[in-house]
């Protein structure tokens, strides 16, 4: 079939998808004036024919998608927290929406304000709050917040700020995630005045659904207790993935079966098929019903209703949305006695999902779910005869693997090579056995079924963990250019095409740009000093032509989450750094050392330099651990590294932890950078007195996040940087960097770059004298939803 002959729904959906995705790349929202243009394109397409008609239909979809996404974005941005109310106490009454999540530091909850008590205050319609655990002043024990349930109405004093993420290449971005979920402010609950529960249950939609989901979760937890995989079963039943242990998530990710422990389209389809079979069987047993309405129509309606109920219970995620729409189109076709082709169903699903959620195009699950289903339809639907069950399963797995490989490489930078084997075992077990048992045990008074489902899943974890532990289980890919991904997708399409398609074998050649891609790296003799945006903390990566050093790893946020795993490792993966050649922990404070374990496990550095105490367990994370002492030197690729502080006696005396910090000078022939960690006045005075002749540097990673206790005039004068890089968290409670410190650097002519304002930063030390040192943000593209306006390079 020629492109011009493809039915209008497919073409319009394709254009609508492109227009929606285009709008989400905008730095600012334009005037919404193209909806009339979309209508004009539609009218013109009726008068045209052939390729002109196809182009006009695509253009109509493009204009409509762009305009409708922009209109929705304008409405959502209007529902924002005014900057004037950031950081101020606001008393509200609100309803708990969604499922509260308990953690070691407190309880996280979504709240929909119903009443703003504070006069003059404006609060968005949905906010994310943390109710922190209180500490007893005498014993120091942690006192958790009260039990909070979905649908309750509370009055509390809150302190809010506008959504603000951490801007790093290759890492998760909180701001678009929050925007897509309608979260327009974040903050915490104040304990004075004491919060009050106004009502135990707010009636109506969707509070009743949230309440039901919470009841199911509570019942499952009561049945399973401390069972290891209880969180996985809860995720399979109601889509709540926060209780899954981080180690199990790693196993699922490394084996490529993460989709099976969420409410995936496969599970929804299975549940609908079960309802279809049961209702059709029962319908045929009642002659009056069978004569009045065909059993297959009754079964199709029942299957869709069951899928809708399961989707609502699961939280209505993108994969479930897509599957529900596809099942709805299929059911409507059965009821109307019309044939619906797979491509039409898929196009209708894309259109419906984007109408409901135009931000879905920014979610990896959107592309993975539609990509997988599209690949299966393409691989099986274009063949002359349907393959047998075994061959069909093989073709399906090959199609999904080939189609998703470029998408996974672009979105995550890694692909699970053991995925076909793991899925061949896990899909039948989880979808056909564990999920039905879990749903039956959760929704019926049959708790023994939950215990059985847990036992089966636990038995399967052994082989999965073995697969995940294999050295080549996961293949990492440096962040590829868009053109290489496009070529790879085209190549996958050619390879999956039926026999007889011209140049089918050329698909292999189209895969090569992605296979052979290598990330840019410093030239010989050059050094890149990258200060990552880890909030209130420090993580620096120093790279030479063939080596990489991590200098601190940022803070930890919970036992299962830290900036090492969430920021540093994804950044290294995207930059093509598969192993570190060294790791430095400047001192033991959590905001510098919180991610050490994650980085060490993932990037296996051969040695560690640190000022950690001798009994610190983190020494055992690497083959060789040594104290970071002044005088230590090494050279990589023509770039020299020298430790300037602390002296040997500093590790034995009783000085402040900050003044034990490891200070390193990195120098190429064309420039130098000084990495100063958290040193304060005492250490600065020691360094100036001892190393004044070697302190001069073009780039300074400003000590202690720009605190008033650091950056003394004598130290600043000795370093005399032309660029000052400051790592600090947005609106941090320490109010760093201090204005007088910033003014001190500016007075000496230093350019100031800050992670809280500009995101992750890079300073390039040239290989040759005479070339300037460059410093710039690594994330230089703004988006319409953020207050952050990165500096252009």
Please report the pLDDT score of residue 283 as a whole number.
93
SS3 753: strand
Q: 14-18, 43-47, 242-246, 374-378: which has the minimum mean pLDDT?
A: 43-47
Please report the pLDDT score of residue 168 as a whole number.
96
Please report the pLDDT score of residue 238 as a whole number.
85
Q: If you average pLDDT over residues 331-342, what whole number do you get?
A: 81
Residue 749 confidence (pLDDT) above 50: yes
Q: If you average pLDDT over residues 586-613, what whole number do you get?
A: 96
Residue 394 confidence (pLDDT) above 60: yes
Give bridge partners of residue 188 from the DSSP assignment. Answer: 130, 159
The pLDDT tens digits for 115-132 are 999 999 999 999 999 999
Q: Across the chain, what does the average pLDDT equal?
A: 89
Q: If you average pLDDT over residues 712-736, what whole number do you get?
A: 96
Residue 1 confidence (pLDDT) above 50: no
Residue written as tokens 């903390």? 537
Give bridge partners of residue 156 from the DSSP assignment. Answer: 92
* 216 contacts: CB under 8 Å, gap ≥ 6: 237, 238, 313, 442, 443
DSSP 554: B
The pLDDT tens digits for 604-649 are 999 999 999 999 999 999 999 999 999 999 999 999 999 999 998 8
Euclidean distance between CA atoms 481 and 514, whole angstroms: 8
Residue 6 confidence (pLDDT) above 60: no
Q: If you average pLDDT over residues 708-734, what whole number do you get?
A: 96
Helices 207-224/295-313 angle, 10° precision = 80
Residue pair 200/210 in contact (Cβ under 8 Å)? The answer is no
Task: Return the percent helix, strand and coil in the chain, to nearest 5.
Answer: 50, 15, 35
* 131 contacts: CB under 8 Å, gap ≥ 6: 106, 107, 108, 109, 145, 148, 188, 189, 195
Query: DSSP letter string over 669-710?
Result: TTEEEEE-TT--HHHHHHHHHHHGGG---SEEE-GGGG-TTS
- Tokens describing residue 89: 């106490």
Q: How confident is the model at residue 682 (pLDDT cuts 50, 70, 90)?
A: very high
Residue 2 confidence (pLDDT) above 70: no
Give bridge partners of residue 474 from the DSSP assignment. Answer: 416
Residue pair 551/694 in contact (Cβ under 8 Å)? The answer is no
Closest CA to 565 of 341, 131, 250, 122: 250
Residue 83 CB neighbour total at 10 angstroms: 10
Q: How confident is the model at residue 152 (pLDDT cuts 50, 70, 90)?
A: very high
Euclidean distance between CA atoms 66 and 64, whole angstroms: 6
User: How many Cα atoms are found within 13 Å in the side-chain-facing hemisphere of 262?
Assistant: 19
Please report the pLDDT score of residue 634 as a whole number.
98
This model's pTM is above 0.85 = yes
Residue 4 confidence (pLDDT) above 50: no
Give bridge partners of residue 723 from the DSSP assignment. Answer: 699, 751
Residue written as tokens 């922990």? 585
* 526 contacts: CB under 8 Å, gap ≥ 6: 544, 545, 639, 668, 670, 764, 765, 766, 767
Euclidean distance between CA atoms 113 and 111, whole angstroms: 6
Closest CA to 656 of 695, 686, 617: 686
Please report the pLDDT score of residue 202 as a whole number.
83
Residue 45 confidence (pLDDT) above 90: no
Closest CA to 166 of 725, 706, 780, 760: 760
Q: Which residue has the higher pLDDT, 543 or 5?
A: 543
């Amino acid at each position: 079939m020629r492109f011009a002959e493809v039915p209008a729904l497919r073409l319009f959906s394709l254009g609508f998808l492109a227009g929606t995705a285009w709008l989400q790349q905008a730095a600012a929202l334009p005037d919404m004036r193209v909806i009339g243009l979309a209508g004009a394109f539609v009218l013109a397409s009726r008068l045209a024919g052939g390729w002109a008609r196809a182009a006009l239909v695509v253009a109509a979809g493009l204009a409509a998608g762009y305009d409708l996404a922009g209109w929705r974005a304008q409405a959502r941005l209007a529902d924002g927290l005014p900057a004037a109310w950031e950081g101020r106490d606001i008393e509200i009454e609100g309803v708990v929406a969604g499922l509260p999540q308990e953690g070691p530091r407190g309880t996280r909850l979504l709240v929909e304000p119903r009443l703003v008590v504070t006069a003059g205050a404006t609060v968005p319609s949905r906010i994310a709050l943390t109710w922190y655990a209180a500490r007893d002043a005498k014993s120091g024990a942690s006192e958790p917040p009260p039990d909070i349930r979905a649908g309750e109405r509370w009055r509390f004093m809150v302190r809010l700020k506008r959504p603000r993420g951490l801007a790093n290449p290759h890492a998760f971005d909180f701001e678009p995630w929050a925007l897509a979920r309608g979260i327009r402010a974040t903050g915490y609950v104040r304990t004075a005045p004491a919060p009050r529960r106004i009502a135990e249950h707010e009636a109506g939609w969707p509070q009743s659904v949230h309440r039901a989901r919470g009841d199911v979760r509570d019942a499952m937890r009561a049945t399973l207790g401390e069972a290891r995989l209880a969180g996985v079963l809860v995720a399979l039943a109601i889509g709540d993935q926060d209780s899954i242990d981080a180690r199990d998530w790693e196993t699922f990710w490394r084996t490529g079966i993460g989709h099976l422990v969420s409410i995936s389209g496969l599970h929804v389809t299975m549940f609908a098929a079960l309802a279809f079979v049961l209702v059709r069987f029962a319908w045929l047993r009642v002659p009056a019903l069978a004569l009045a309405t065909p059993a297959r129509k009754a079964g199709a309606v029942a299957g869709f209703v069951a899928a809708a109920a399961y989707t609502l219970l699961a939280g209505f995620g993108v994969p479930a949305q897509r599957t529900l729409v596809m099942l709805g189109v299929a059911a409507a076709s059965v009821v109307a006695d019309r044939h619906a082709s797979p491509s039409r169903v898929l196009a209708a699903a894309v259109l419906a999902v984007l109408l409901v959620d135009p931000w879905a195009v920014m979610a990896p699950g959107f592309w993975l779910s539609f990509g997988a289903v599209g690949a299966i339809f393409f691989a099986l639907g274009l063949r002359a005869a349907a393959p047998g069950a075994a061959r069909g399963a093989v073709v399906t797995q090959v199609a999904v693997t080939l189609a998703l490989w470029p998408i996974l490489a672009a979105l995550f930078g890694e692909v699970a090579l053991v995925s076909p084997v793991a899925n061949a075992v896990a899909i039948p077990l989880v979808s056909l056995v564990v999920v039905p048992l879990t749903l039956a045990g959760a929704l019926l008074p049959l708790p023994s079924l939950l215990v059985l489902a847990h036992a089966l899943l636990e038995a399967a974890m052994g082989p999965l963990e073995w697969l995940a532990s294999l050295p080549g289980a996961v293949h990492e890919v440096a962040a590829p250019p868009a053109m290489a991904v496009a070529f790879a997708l085209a190549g996958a399409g050619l390879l999956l095409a039926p026999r007889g398609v011209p140049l089918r074998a050329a698909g292999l050649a189209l895969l090569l740009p992605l296979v052979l891609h290598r990330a840019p790296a410093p030239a010989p003799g050059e050094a890149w000093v990258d200060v990552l945006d880890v909030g209130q903390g420090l993580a620096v990566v120093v790279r030479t032509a063939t080596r990489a050093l991590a200098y601190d790893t940022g803070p930890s946020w919970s036992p299962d989450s830290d900036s090492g795993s969430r920021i540093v490792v994804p950044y290294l993966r995207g930059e093509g750094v598969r192993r570190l050649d060294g790791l430095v922990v400047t001192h033991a404070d959590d905001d510098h050392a919180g991610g050490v374990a994650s980085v060490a496990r993932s990037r296996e550095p051969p040695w560690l330099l640190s000022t950690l105490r001798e009994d610190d367990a983190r020494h055992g994370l690497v083959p060789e651990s040594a104290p970071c002492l002044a005088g230590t030197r090494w050279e990589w690729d023509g770039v020299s590294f020298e430790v300037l502080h602390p002296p040997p006696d500093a590790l034995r005396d009783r000085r402040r932890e900050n003044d034990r910090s490891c200070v390193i000078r990195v120098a190429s022939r064309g420039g130098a950078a000084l990495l100063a960690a958290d040193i304060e006045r005492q250490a600065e005075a020691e360094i100036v007195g001892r190393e004044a002749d070697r302190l001069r540097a073009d780039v300074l990673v400003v000590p202690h996040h720009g605190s008033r206790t650091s950056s003394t005039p004598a130290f600043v004068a000795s370093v005399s940087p032309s660029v000052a890089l400051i790592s600090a968290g947005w609106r941090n409670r320490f109010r760093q960097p201090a204005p007088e410190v910033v003014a001190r650097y500016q007075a000496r002519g230093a350019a100031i770059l800050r992670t809280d304002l500009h995101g992750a930063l890079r300073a390039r030390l040239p290989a040759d004298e005479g070339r300037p040192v460059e410093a710039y943000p690594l994330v230089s593209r703004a988006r319409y939803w953020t207050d952050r306006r990165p500096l252009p390079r």
